[in-house]
Structures are given as structure tokens and as C-alpha cells.
Amino acid sequence: MTIFKTFLKILNKYKLTVILYSSILIAFAVFNMKTNDTSVSFVASKPDVLIVNNDKLEGITKLLIDYFSKNSNIIEIEAEEEAIDDALFYRDVNYVIYIPKNYNDDFLNHKNPEINIKSTKDYQASLAELMLEKTLNIANTYNSLRFTQEELVNVINETLNAESNIEITSTLDSGSLNEATYYFNFSSYALMAGAIQVICLILLSFRQINIKKRTIISSIDYKKYNRVLILSNALFSIVLWLVYIIISFILVNKAMMTLHGVLYIVNSLLFTLVTVTLAFLIGNLVNDKNAINGIVNCVALGSAFLCGAFVPQEILPTSVLGIAHVLPTYWFIKNNELVKGLEVINLNTLKPYLINLGVLIIFMIIFVVITNMLSKKKQTIA
């Protein structure tokens, strides 16, 4: 109890740091989720297209614009070339179509006029290009027949309207699950950085040389001492974790209210506990207050980058993922991705999920054992 009380006292001293750190991390998480949800996941099936029209709005020109309004997100920005280039670079627009002057007339007079485009050359842009080519192909083919402008537009529209039927087999609400997965993946960074930073600072206070001497000389067993400290730190981390869970319910409540939500929560609880043991290990290794900042950044940022908290795992190169296997974050994020794709939840489909949880537990045990070993050794030296 004495240890726990001291722990709370020190935590109280650092409460401003804790609050500041957590709120910054939360703000980051929220903000990133809001800006990134369109660019990270490929769910959006309408490319962002900008049409710069220098022609009169009639005939083929109008047809093109109408078609793209229906099948893509038309982006409106000022027609300055620099603004357009910026938008392309930052992927605000995937595809720019410049319709030249007199396009409609030239087209009808079989001059096969040229259309300039700018493209980001990614998935979305390829889709837009496919749509443009399709429309122009059809238009060109019909143009060889001697239709009037009106007839031509009608017949092209009629052909474009010939659509195949589409069936979706999945019943998953992939949009909200995507968001939830992104949130939890990002939270791995926030949890890890927050927990390690605070826990290390607290442990450091416990290990000031005079306090340490007094602790060693006392009758308390070093294992019990470590246990109580770990438990208090775990308690702190669980509070931190609860905060993130509550936020997840506010932000992505649609996904959280399902069975998937429970799986996310269990996974992140275990991850939090792993983080505690890791923080405890680091806290026992490091003796310098200044060094903590550096280590927190390296460990937390490193885990986040290598394991796919910022960039989805499917995009990371295999060599990087190979290295990531030795980091607990990798298994946590792997599990989130797994939950995202779960169609049916039963014992059989949950098997890989449970295995990943098992790996997290193994990490936990390893960290605790090493910490105890170090702690024991240090005691004899001190």
C-alpha cells in the first residue's frame, strides 16, 4: 500500500504532463482519422475529377461533364494552374480533364480533337481514365454513323446506361470497420508513447539513489516490490486505455456496438498490458531523465512506423514486416486487421485472433521475466 500511495503522489506531480501528452496524442489520432480515411482505404469508388471546360456546354462536352458528375466526385477549385497542380500533388484531385475550345464542334466534324489530362497515375486516376476512354470510345464509334448532335447524344447516353447488375455478398459494414481499425491502429502509438513516457518518469523517481537505498534495506521482497509497482502502473495504463475506449465509442460507435467492437476492445486491453510491461522494462534500464524522451520517441515511433499504425500493413514492404514480427505492436495491428475482415464470428474463425493474443501474452511474460532478472541483479550491485 505504501508503494501504491507513493505512486499516486508522484503521478499527481506529473499529472500535467500526463494530461498534456494524452490530449495531444488524442488530438492527433482524431485529426488523422478524419483526414486520412479517404486516402488510406480504397473503399471510395468514385475518383476525384476536375474538369476544366473551355468549350460551350452542349453536345458531347455536356455529355462528358454529365457523365463524370454522375460517376465521380467533381472537385471545384479555382482554375489557376498552380492550384490545380497543388491539388494533384496532394491527391485532392486524381484526374484533371481539359476540354479544349470548340471541342463539341470539332468532334462532330470528325476532327477527333485532342483532350489534355493530368493524372496522379494511381488507382483512382486509372478508374477515371477508364471512364473517359469508355465514353470517348463509344462516342467515336457512333460518330462514324451520320447522326445529328441530338441523336448522337441520345444514343451514347442510352449505351452508357446499359449497366450490368452488381451483387454484394458481404454483409459487413466495411466503412465503419475501416475507421475503427484505423483508430485502434493509431491508438497503439498513443498508448505506447503515453504509457512509456509516464511510467518511466515515475520509475525514475522511485530509483533516485537515496530512495532506492532505503527500499533495498527495507524488509520488502524485491519481487513483491516489483509486483506492486507493476500493478500500479498497470492501473494507470488501464485508465489511459479506458479513455481511448470511451473516445472510440464516441468516434466510431457504429462499429463498436457490434461483436467486432468487443474483439477490438479485448485486443487493445491486452496490448495495453504488454505496453506496461515493456515500459517497466525500459524504466528499469534507463537512468537518465533526458534519455527517456529519446527512447520513447524511438520505441513508440519505430513500432508505429514498422508495424503499420500509420501506413497500413498491406502496403508495407515484406522485409519491414519481417522485422516487425519481433515487436508486439505488429501482432496487435495484425489482429485489428483480422477483426476488420471477419464475416462470421465463431470459435473457428477466431482461431488466428486468439493465436495473436497468445503472442501478446508471451511478450508480456518475456518482458516481466527480464525485468525481474535485471532488478534482482541491480539490487546486488547497489
- For residue 84, give the amino acid letter: I
- Min dist CB 287 to another protein, Å, is 13
The closest of 368, 320, 331, 310 to 33, measured between CA atoms, is: 310
Instruction: Return the range that interacts with another protein (CB under 8 A); candidates 32-40, 51-59, 262-270, 368-376.
Output: 32-40
Query: CA–CA separation, 231 vs 244, rounded Å?
Result: 20
C-alpha cell at 60: 458531347
Number of residues that bind another protein (CB under 8 A): 87
8 Å CB contact between 52 and 98: yes
Using CB under 8 A, which of 9, 28, 249, 358 touches another protein?
28
Neighbours of 97 (CB within 10 A): 20
In the set 66, 102, 105, 122, which binds another protein (CB under 8 A)?
Answer: 122
User: Is residue 166 involved in binding another protein (CB under 8 A)?
Assistant: yes
| Helix residue ranges, H only, 286-350 | 289-296, 302-307, 318-324, 328-341
Which residues inside 258-277 make contact with another protein, applying CB under 8 A? none
Cα–Cα distance for residue pair 35/127, rounded to 1 Å: 22
- Spatial neighbors of 337 by CB under 8 A, at least 6 apart, are 181, 312, 313, 314
- Grid cell 513508440 in the structure block, residue: 300
Instruction: Decide whether 3 or 29 has the Cβ nearer to another protein.
Output: 29
Name residues contacting another protein, limited to 168-207 (CB under 8 A). Answer: 168-170, 172, 174-175
In the region spanning residues 35 to 54, those forming contacts with another protein, defined by CB under 8 A, are 35-36, 39, 42-46
- Site for another protein (CB under 8 A): which residue of 5, 9, 23, 123? 123
- Of 284-313, binders to another protein (CB under 8 A) are 290-291, 293-294, 297-298, 301-302, 305-306, 310-311
What is the Cα–Cα distance from 42 to 175, expressed in whole angstroms?
A: 10
Query: Per-residue x/- marks for another protein, 314-353, CB under 8 A?
Result: xxxx--x--------------------x------------
Binding mask 206-245 for another protein (x = CB under 8 A): ----------------------------------------
Would you count residue 114 as binding another protein (CB under 8 A)? yes
Cβ proximity to another protein: between 112 and 253 the closer is: 112
Cα gap 351→319, rounded to integer Å:
26
Residues 138-157 as b or e (16 or more Cβ within 10 Å = b): bbeebbeeeeeeeebbeebe
Amino acid (one-letter) located at 178: N
Residues 48-87, mask of contacts with another protein (x by CB under 8 A): ----------------------------------x--xxx
Whichever of 219 and 290 has its CB closer to another protein, that residue is 290
Measured from the CB of residue 13, what is the shortest distance to another protein in angstroms?
15
Residue 252 phi, psi (nearest 5):
-125, 50
